[in-house]
Amino acid sequence: MLLLTSRVTSGTEAMPDNNEEILKSLEDVLDRRAPIDGLGALTSAISHKASLDKALKTTAIGLDANVFLRLAKHSRIEDIVDYLNATHAAPLIMPGQAIQEFWNNQLSAVDTVSASLKKKFEALKAETAKIDENFVEFSDRFEAVLTDFNSEYGYIYDESTVRFTLSLLNVLEKRAEVCYVPRLRFQAIAENRKLTKTPPGFKDDGHGDFYIWAEFIFGLLRAKKDGRTFDHAVLVTNDQKIDWSRGGVAHPILTAEVMRATGASFEVWSLERLWKAINA
């Protein structure tokens, strides 16, 4: 079974090679042919021992699609990109599924919605300012909601977003391991995991999150095989649903799967958590 995986250097992708041993290990973990320590991971998660003070230099980093544009809007985008480009020595993993989801769900908003949404947002904000003083409480609430929306999603109508996103993508082309797993080979596992509400992705339609997860673990396994050093792994995502994490603590099943596959501890990080680790 051939699997296309590339570490992009100078714009050149590596040729396909044989990863059957890694694929088999991945299948064993994801399909429970290899047992995981779910109980131990659950105990650690509930006792908040999952918050591990690990050195970033030995932490493998994976990126979900939904952090790309938010990263481009981060106030310290240059520092984050510089760190990933020049300092981070542990694996930097880009699930192939995240690449297509970025194009499908994120970038299209910048190209097709931004101008219209910006105009409507500003018009609504102006109208709320005209509300009669008897309804000032509602005006304040409208303003608060609009401010929150602007903070969370303002990137989709900011003209600088694409430029900063491209700077990040250029770094990923040079430094990231881009990994894919065969879709048909893992389809039955994806369907069975959704039926049993196995994270991630049981809160969503389709199997996109499953393939992001499978390709992230594949990247970790591939890095181990190539002799890369790491003792901790994080997936940076803006997804806050409980099939990824709860209160900042990764779902214990995800933690147990990474530990079984690679021997490394695991956390789900927000973009802000990544910045704090870089800035520590």
Confidence of residue 139 (pLDDT cuts 50, 70, 90): low
Cα dihedral 251, 253, 255, 258 in deg (nearest 10): -140
- pLDDT score recorded for residue 2: 36
Report whether pLDDT(264) > 90. Answer: yes
Tokens linked to 131: 């509300």
Report whether pLDDT(271) > 80. Answer: yes
Q: Which amino acid is at 190?
A: A
- pLDDT score recorded for residue 232: 96
- pLDDT score recorded for residue 104: 81
- Bigger pLDDT: 11 vs 162: 162
In the chain, where the domains are located: 2-110+160-279
Cα dihedral 63, 69, 70, 76 in deg (nearest 10): 90
DSSP conformation class of 15? P
DSSP conformation class of 263? S
CA distances in angstroms from 64 to 43, 94, 192, 218, 227, listed in the order given = 27, 8, 23, 15, 24
Average pLDDT along the chain:
82
State mean pLDDT over 24-39: 97
pLDDT tens by residue, 62-96: 999 888 767 767 778 888 889 999 999 999 999 99
- pLDDT score recorded for residue 21: 94
pLDDT tens by residue, 187-221: 999 999 999 999 998 888 889 999 999 999 999 99
- Bigger pLDDT: 243 vs 221: 221
Report whether pLDDT(146) > 50. Answer: yes
Q: Any residues with CB less than 8 A from the CB of 21 and at least 6 apart, and which? A: 225
- pLDDT score recorded for residue 154: 56
